[in-house]
Amino acid sequence: MQQENFYFGASEEIIRRARILRKRMTFAESLLWGCLRKKQVNGIRFRRQHPIKNFIVDFYCQRANLVIEIDGGVHQEEEQNERDENRTYELKNLGLTIIRFSNKDVISNLDKVLNEIENSL
């Protein structure tokens, strides 16, 4: 595995920020991580707060080229929504599939979220 392809050319600064974010996960991210870590879903490895190009995605499965994003309330705002759309567009251009869930979905309906992730794999 080449590091450049693994991170899609992410800078050292983005990689450093990702390390910091791993220590500051939201409750919803931590809850989902508890289900994804240690290959608990279909025996497939996920990474958390993973650097890709200019971004840090919440979860990434290299084997399936799958990005999982967990959105809090700020993602409802128009400006943030536009940024999310641009980010999704750029990630899709790298050949990645992106699925999004709200914090509320993860917290209140974790089984449904996990089923959707399994279906996306």
- What CATH fold (topology level) applies to the domain 3-120? Endonuclease; Chain A (3.40.960)
Residue 58: name the closest of 5, 101, 11, 95 by CA.
101
**C-alpha angle 97-76-18 in degrees, rounded to nearest 5:** 55
Interval 33-81: pLDDT, tens: 999 999 999 999 999 999 999 999 999 999 999 999 999 865 565 676 7
Q: What is the percent of the chain with per-residue pLDDT over 90, rounded to a whole number? A: 83
Interval 93-106: pLDDT, tens: 999 999 999 999 99
